[in-house]
A and B are shown apart, each in its own frame.
Chain A
């Protein structure tokens, strides 16, 4: 329930999400405003008439997505920070999501940040493409983020630290970082088995219990393959570390 959790439900979202076809045509505003309050700056900011005139100032806004040009004027006008612009035509792999961001410091264009979903959960890396902060925006800067295309309707906020950063340790036993993993994948090691052999990731005491999945996720993301289609590395006995003395017979019935 939105009123209790502050997180929009799927039903709520279904009502305000622009169609897939519309999103494929170019930038469009997504108004995730679900609470009736006396508020209409989005409507007055809209120069194309896509946001329809309010009958009652308490109404939630209604938008004609086909009339919307995705100009983004409404984004910084919304005091509730509930409007974003989504552009799925940004590039082959990525979508652009423009979000209002009222924290300091502002992110720097070109930096990588963590994309968060509506619950504040990290979901992907996001690249800051542009930070717009003009006088008319009245201290509600708009941050343009490049995110994986399938994240366009998921990423709604950011955290400035880079959760999925290159310094994150992927294999704790052998201390392989995400950055090192990415470098290996770039060099063409694109199966878990190859990465295991060249980096020792997965060869430590945990035998890949932590890193195997993470490595597969990263390979899948980097190569555009489904995780289900990747080859899993071999599971080898004894699965959990066992003392040589125990295997040999032990001393006290070990």
Chain B
């Protein structure tokens, strides 16, 4: 069955849903979102689903501040019948090395200058916020109450439902097999359910965005790396903020539902799109959790899973059009932070596609920054 669309968005995660919603809200008709499986089946549905404004670069601070403020009113703005479960319990980010402590002091100054209410804490002060932590393992901490956590499935569904009401079509279980380019211009997308003629393609395919780029002849310098998470049985609320450390390589949070979700980066995680689980992760994660937050040792792990971080060279997003193919746009390279940036992604990508003035200065996040060597390295990543 062949179709025609004004815009085809590849990827039914938070980015795709948010871009579709924002384009439709601006009056664009005939938008199709193509998703290989179902909404949130990729990285969005596998992520830790935290959102923080505590970053080390001005760019990420501003992007995430925009998104946080959106999420605060998302249930109402998107008229969602469910609940995106946004809990602003804060992020307590701990420093474990002198170098990290130095960086955090700089980060707090930067964040405060941008209106982000982060405070610098001694270990004792940090322990007041998370009483079950072993404060001897840290040198200092920073805390921002406005950071938090959401339900990634409901959040994506909220965007998708709002987009559908505005006429966007979601094609689930439809796989993109090719992108047709003629005379340097996008003319359509080939799927296993037929061809879609379109002048505009948006690559929001997360871990698969490199492959989607290749289909159009666009080289995107990202790679997909496996990251793992585990979740425990739900218990009574005992930890409001996310506990996170970069040198400690860990994040541990309690969801509003009661379960603890925790993750860490592996040293030798595969980069071949694999999303299997490893015992190595389970063991190291359990050891970290029991050392840093000893009370958690009696919590039972019910499940672990893996997802893909789409890593860019400087750990910052790529919001860009392709230099060599007209009509090909991409929103990728989030390096593990695509979910939290979902709201701003939709806004800036829709503005870029419609040729409007960007709400945020995202010109520096273009694909050409890698050729020019103008990287904006983000130091605060787990």
Chain A interfacial positions (CB closer than 8 Å to B): 191, 193-194, 197-198, 200, 203-205, 207, 234, 236-238, 241-245, 247-249
Beyond contacts A207-B303, A237-B277, A244-B301: 17 other A-B pairs, Cβ-Cβ < 8 A, are A200-B257, A204-B233, A204-B234, A204-B302, A236-B305, A237-B279, A238-B303, A241-B302, A243-B300, A244-B289, A244-B290, A244-B298, A244-B299, A247-B283, A248-B286, A248-B287, A248-B289
- How far apart are B10's CB and chain A's nearest CB, in angstroms? 19
User: Which residues does chain A contribute within 8 Å of B282, judged by CB atoms?
Assistant: 237-238, 247
Contact count A vs B, C-beta below 8 Å: 76
Q: Do B233 and A194 have beta carbons less than 8 Å apart?
A: no
Cα distance A197–B153 in the bound complex, in angstroms: 6
- How far apart are B279's CB and chain A's nearest CB, in angstroms? 8
Which of the residues B38, B157, B303, B304 comes within 8 Å of A191, measured between beta carbons?
B38
Q: Do B45 and A197 have beta carbons less than 8 Å apart?
A: yes
- How far apart are B185's CB and chain A's nearest CB, in angstroms? 35
Q: Do A242 and B300 have beta carbons less than 8 Å apart?
A: yes
User: Which residues does chain A contribute within 8 Å of B257, judged by CB atoms?
Assistant: 200
- How far apart are B137's CB and chain A's nearest CB, in angstroms? 15
- Residue B297 is within 8 A (CB to CB) of chain A in the complex: yes
Mark each residue of chain B from 284 to 318: 1 if its CB lies under 8 Å from any CB of chain A, else 0.
00110111000011111111110000000000000
Q: Which residue of B lies closest to A234 (CB)?
A: B305
Among A194, A200, A204, A248, which residue has the most Cβ atoms of chain B within 10 A?
A248
Which of the residues A198, A207, A249 comes within 8 Å of B153, measured between beta carbons?
A198
Which of the residues B39, B40, B157, B303 comes within 8 Å of A203, measured between beta carbons?
B303
Q: Which residue of B lies closest to A197 (CB)?
A: B153
Q: Do B304 and A238 have beta carbons less than 8 Å apart?
A: yes
- Residue B6 is within 8 A (CB to CB) of chain A in the complex: no
Among A198, A203, A247, which residue has the most Cβ atoms of chain B within 10 A?
A247
Q: Do B41 and A236 have beta carbons less than 8 Å apart?
A: no
The 5 closest A-B pairs by CB, nearest first: A245-B297, A241-B300, A247-B286, A248-B286, A248-B290
Cα distance A198–B301 in the bound complex, in angstroms: 21
Per DSSP, chain B at the interface is mixed
- How far apart are A132's CB and chain B's nearest CB, in angstroms? 42
User: Which residues does chain B contribute within 8 Å of A244, judged by CB atoms?
Assistant: 232, 286, 289-290, 296-301
Q: Do A243 and B305 have beta carbons less than 8 Å apart?
A: no
Q: Do A193 and B233 have beta carbons less than 8 Å apart?
A: no
- Residue B154 is within 8 A (CB to CB) of chain A in the complex: yes
Chain B interfacial positions (CB closer than 8 Å to A): 37-41, 45, 153-154, 157, 231-234, 257, 277, 279, 282-283, 286-287, 289-291, 296-305
User: Which residues does chain A contribute within 8 Å of B38, judged by CB atoms?
Assistant: 191, 193-194
User: Which residues does chain B contribute within 8 Å of A238, judged by CB atoms?
Assistant: 282, 301-304
Q: Do A243 and B301 have beta carbons less than 8 Å apart?
A: yes
Cα distance A109–B204 in the bound complex, in angstroms: 52
Q: Which residue of B lies closest to A200 (CB)?
A: B257
Q: Which residue of B lies closest to A231 (CB)?
A: B37
User: Which residues does chain B contribute within 8 Å of A247, judged by CB atoms?
Assistant: 282-283, 286, 301
User: Which residues does chain A contribute within 8 Å of B289, judged by CB atoms?
Assistant: 244, 248
Cα distance A197–B290 in the bound complex, in angstroms: 28
Q: Do B300 and A236 have beta carbons less than 8 Å apart?
A: no
Cα distance A104–B176 in the bound complex, in angstroms: 61
Q: Which residue of A lies closest to B294 (CB)?
A: A245
- How far apart are A233's CB and chain B's nearest CB, in angstroms? 11
- How far apart are A194's CB and chain B's nearest CB, in angstroms? 5
Q: Do A241 and B301 have beta carbons less than 8 Å apart?
A: yes
- How far apart are A248's CB and chain B's nearest CB, in angstroms? 4
Which of the residues A205, A236, A241, A243 comes within 8 Å of B277, measured between beta carbons?
A236
Cα distance A85–B37 in the bound complex, in angstroms: 46
Cα distance A191–B291 in the bound complex, in angstroms: 39
Q: Do B153 and A248 have beta carbons less than 8 Å apart?
A: no
- How far apart are B33's CB and chain A's nearest CB, in angstroms? 14
User: Which residues does chain A contribute within 8 Å of B153, judged by CB atoms?
Assistant: 197-198
Cα distance A3–B154 in the bound complex, in angstroms: 58
Q: Which residue of A lies closest to B288 (CB)?
A: A248
Cα distance A200–B286 in the bound complex, in angstroms: 23
Q: Do A236 and B301 have beta carbons less than 8 Å apart?
A: no
Q: Which residue of B lies closest to A191 (CB)?
A: B38
User: Which residues does chain A contribute within 8 Å of B283, judged by CB atoms?
Assistant: 247-248
Cα distance A238–B285 in the bound complex, in angstroms: 14
Q: Which residue of B lies closest to A249 (CB)?
A: B287
Q: Which residue of A lies closest to B282 (CB)?
A: A247
Among B38, B45, B304, which residue has the most Cβ atoms of chain A within 10 A?
B38
Q: Which residue of B lies closest to A254 (CB)?
A: B297
